[in-house]
Structure 1
């Protein structure tokens, strides 16, 4: 009984974390993909020092990752894609932290590590503890 109750709460927590991460990455990805570089530079000064194509690629990756955190799990179609989306977003955050370190922006990496940790929590939880079963 206690194990079932803890699984229930872990499942709720995972859905909450997935939803919050998805919202954040969908918003961040949409901004990087659809805003002009000059507008984006007001919030993210680094975008003027990298190729526009890289900014747009990161935006697409974040958008797809945000969708992947929720849609496969909600529809129960290939729910392992949710795990892969979480791993991919964790990788983006890991690489972003090195990028910020290389630019001397060490104050920014704490958020990268928080988002990376949350994404890895989702990957772990949806792989080991409360996996989502595919629709038959």
Structure 2
């Protein structure tokens, strides 16, 4: 089977510069890149608030999934990267609010920092759809 690749952009000027897509769909698989808590105006959403930033990351990932023909129900893996692992419960609460009924495999890791020092969390998402477009 020859699956078509679909690259999904977010409009970020960094995508062509770095050479990445917000998400990529290949067959039934959808991968969403590390998603930071960026507000619609380009600033950081929820400065200082891990829960609010995690919610924003999930919202952005959900938009990318929809553009790829998938949904949160199709998510099979999430990776949550935090600059302070002691805040994992705040991120976990936001994750549970959206994924409690889906229950993807999930990994929490601590990283030293992100591109923007106001970002406290980034999330990656992998999904598999039933239709295999």
Normalising to structure 1: TM-score of the pair? 0.29
Greater share of helix: 1
Structure index of larger Rg? 1
- Flag the structure with more relative contact order, 1 or 2, with Cα contacts below 8 A and sequence separation at least 6: 2
Greater share of strand: 2
